[in-house]
Every structure is written in structure tokens, then in C-alpha cells.
Amino acid sequence: MKQRIGVIGVTGFVGRYVAAALAARGDEVVGFSRNGAGEVPGVGEWRRSGPWDLSGLDGMINLAGERVDQRWTAANRQKFEQSRIDLTKALVRALHELPPAHRPTAWVNASAVGYYGDRSDEIIEENAEPGQGYLARLCIDWEAATAEAESMGVRCVMVRIGMVLGRGGMAWDRLRLVFKLGAGARLGSGQQWMPWIHIDDLVAGILFSLDNVAIKGPVNGVSPAPEKNSDFTKKLARAVRRPAPWIAPAFLLKAIFGEFGEFLLGGQRAIPRAWSEAGFVFTYPTLERALAELTRE
Ligand SMILES: NC(=O)c1ccc[n+]([C@@H]2O[C@H](COP(=O)([O-])OP(=O)(O)OC[C@H]3O[C@@H](n4cnc5c(N)ncnc54)[C@H](OP(=O)(O)O)[C@@H]3O)[C@@H](O)[C@H]2O)c1
């Protein structure tokens, strides 16, 4: 049945792919942006990101968030928090204002594997304890901001997203360029785990979570095969047919990126238990498969 889905942050990297996928299967897409409108294929109607009008939606997907791959200054931290915690709380307030019968039945909200902090070799499923540090705290509060929606009868899924590999995404576009130039490097010891996911699988997983009434609460939005940074580096170098003999020393990463550099030196061996148990099938379950698709000219 055709549905009307609101997508917040639809102008972003993931949002664009989500809008296209929803439209391709025949859903109507209501795009939300701070600018009130944008150029995103698949979006049929535009609304402003705040003050929030969530009327007439069957479901909603919130992908808004200020990018965290910049220096974590006080001003930027405020933007990270405002665009995630405050924005999500404002969505809950807007849901409150709607008559119960007019509320969307399902809400998929972005979160991140940063929720788990830095976790060495431990296998991380959704029931793992949260981690330490600023990003973990940010994700904990971001997810908690949705809590009240459940009590309003809105099924809520928080997708703890790993590094998304896809054309047009900052991670892949940068990695591809750097490795193609032969400047690819292992980060620090290279022993940290990198939970990654191909954009097509993330989008399919988001739609699967939206549709599947059995899924609620946190899900790990990651492939079933996380890689250690050193292996990720070797496989990516092989895929673009360039050597990557370099090592980016930890002190340099910290000097360049500040606390985000520390984040790059940590990781989580996260696996998608909730999606797999619900029967979700990955198109790109291994890094080799994902890279073969991404490096195809
Ligand atoms: N990409 C990844 O590898 C990755 C990994 C883990 C988690 N995530 C999370 O997944 C979500 C989508 O990621 P993405 O890569 O698509 O992000 P993105 O390309 O940076 O886009 C996010 C969108 O959020 C909105 N936004 C940005 N700053 C905002 C602010 N200060 N206040 C309100 N809205 C703001 C923007 O929409 P408008 O300008 O149109 O309002 C923007 O298009 C984000 O929440 C991100 O944290 C992504």
C-alpha cells in the first residue's frame, strides 16, 4: 500500500538515497529541510525543519545531524547536540500536538555506533552496554529523546549507523581519492574495528525497519563483517590497485582532528543482530563485495 513518509535531513547523503528508494517503490515522500525546500529526486512535497508540521504522515525517518567529522569545539558540540537531541525532542513535541489517530505509526531515527564507545575485540550486539566519551553520550541522549514517542503508540527504531560507504558520501569519496592517489594509510595501530555498511544495504535496512512491525528499539546499521582498520586498508588498496604502505600515526591524527582523531583510533566490532534475526538479507555482506561495486567505473 502506498504510504506517505516524512524524511527529515532528506537533503543529506543518506536522505537522498532514502527518498529515491521510497519513491521508487511508490511511496510519497515529504521532505523536511531547514531551507524549506531543495533539489532532491523523489521528494513530492517540501516542509520546513522546524516549526514542525508532522500531519498526514504514515511514517517518518529522521536523518538530520550536523557532521561530527569536524573539530569538537564548544560551538560545534552545541550544533551536534541541537541537530540531534533538541531536534528529536522537538519532533516528539510535534507528535504530541497531533490527535493520536493522526500520528505516524512508525519512526526510524538515526543514531550511530559511537553509542558503544571504543570497544576493543568484544562482539557488539544491540544489547551491549553504552560506552564512554562525548560521542557515546551524544548518542545515548539522542536515542533517549525518542522515548516518549513509544508511549504515544509510535513504533520507534534507532539505527546505530556505522561508516557508510556510498558514492556522494564523505567517507567513501575521501577514502577513494586518498587511496587512488596512493596515499592510503593505516590509522595508528590498525587494530581498531571498523563497522561499515554499503549505502544500498543501509537504505534497505531503514525501509525494512520502517515496514517491519516486529522491529523496535535499537538496531545496528552495520554489515555482518566489520573489519580491523589494517585489513580494511589492505582490501581498499587492493580494490583500487594502489599500494597503501603508510601509517598515519596516532599523534598526527589527534593533532589534525582533535577528539575526532581519537574517535578514528577507536572502534567497535558491531554486528547487525536485530536485522539478521528479523530476516534482513544484505546485498553487500562483505567488504570485498561492497568494494567491487563501489570501484566499478
Ligand atoms: N554517513 C555516515 O557515515 C553516518 C555514520 C553514522 C551516523 N550517521 C548519521 O546518519 C544521519 C545521516 O547522515 P548523512 O551522512 O546523510 O548526513 P549529512 O549528509 O551531513 O546530512 C544530514 C542533514 O541534516 C541536516 N542538518 C545538518 N546540520 C543540521 C543542523 N545543525 N540542524 C538541523 N539540521 C541539520 C541537513 O539538512 P538541511 O540542511 O536540509 O536541513 C543535512 O542535509 C546523521 O544523523 C548522521 O549523524 C551517518
pLDDT average, residue stretch 117-141: 97
Q: Give residue for cell 534475526.
A: 277
Nearest-angstrom CA–CA distance, 125 and 51:
36
For residue 161, which atom of ligand 1 is closest to its CA? 6
State residue 1's pLDDT score. 84
CB 6 within 8 A of CB 63: no
Nearest-angstrom CA–CA distance, 11 and 34:
10
State residue 166's pLDDT score. 98
Whether the CB of 207 sits within 6 Å of ligand 1: no
Tell whether the model's pLDDT for residue 297 goes beyond 80.
no
Comparing CA positions, the residue from 21, 114, 12 lying closest to residue 63 is 12
Cα 67 to ligand 1 centre (Å): 6
State residue 146's pLDDT score. 97
Q: Whose CA is nearest to atom 19 of ligand 1?
A: 12
Query: How many CB atoms are located within 10 Å of the residue 136 CB?
Result: 19
For residue 211, give the amino acid letter.
D
Cα 246 to ligand 1 centre (Å): 31
CB 187 within 8 A of CB 218: no
- CA angle 111/115/119 to nearest 5° reads 140
CA Rg value for the chain: 19
For residue 282, give the amino acid letter.
F
pLDDT average, residue stretch 222-228: 98
Cα 88 to ligand 1 centre (Å): 13
State residue 161's pLDDT score. 98
Q: Which whole-number Å values give the CA distances from 111 to 4, 114, 180, in the listed order?
A: 23, 8, 31
For residue 163, which atom of ligand 1 is closest to its CA? 3
The pLDDT tens digits for 146-174 are 999 999 999 999 999 999 999 999 999 99
Nearest-angstrom CA–CA distance, 207 and 71:
32
Q: Which domains occur in the chain, in start order?
A: 65-165+195-223+269-282 (3.40.50.720)
Q: Whose CA is nearest to atom 29 of ligand 1?
A: 66
Q: What cell does 250 get? A: 596516532
For residue 294, give the amino acid letter.
L
The average confidence (pLDDT) of the chain is: 96
Whether the CB of 203 sits within 6 Å of ligand 1: no
The pLDDT tens digits for 51-79 are 999 999 999 999 999 999 989 999 999 99
pTM for the whole structure: 0.98
Whether the CB of 33 sits within 6 Å of ligand 1: yes
Cα 62 to ligand 1 centre (Å): 9
Q: Whose CA is nearest to atom 45 of ligand 1?
A: 65
Cα 172 to ligand 1 centre (Å): 16
State residue 237's pLDDT score. 96
Cα 74 to ligand 1 centre (Å): 19
State residue 195's pLDDT score. 98
Q: What is the H or E stretch that residue 32 is in?
A: strand 28-33
Of the pLDDT bands very low, low, confident and very high (cuts 50, 70, 90), residue 257 is confident
Whether the CB of 210 sits within 6 Å of ligand 1: no
pLDDT average, residue stretch 248-265: 89
State residue 162's pLDDT score. 97
Whether the CB of 83 sits within 6 Å of ligand 1: yes
Whether the CB of 19 sits within 6 Å of ligand 1: no
Nearest-angstrom CA–CA distance, 177 and 45:
35
Q: What cell does 293 get? A: 561495486
State residue 138's pLDDT score. 98
Comparing CA positions, the residue from 125, 161, 123 lying closest to residue 142 is 161
State residue 256's pLDDT score. 85
Whether the CB of 62 sits within 6 Å of ligand 1: no
State residue 247's pLDDT score. 93
Q: Whose CA is nearest to atom 27 of ligand 1?
A: 66
Of the pLDDT bands very low, low, confident and very high (cuts 50, 70, 90), residue 141 is very high
pLDDT average, residue stretch 181-205: 96
- Helix ranges (H only) for the chain are 13-24, 74-81, 87-97, 134-144, 147-151, 170-180, 199-211, 229-239, 250-257, 259-265, 273-277, 287-294
State residue 60's pLDDT score. 98
- CA angle 288/63/142 to nearest 5° reads 105
Residues paired with residue 246 on neighbouring β-strands, in sequence order = 185
Burial class (CB within 10 angstroms; exposed 0-12, middle 13-18, buried 19+) of 151: exposed
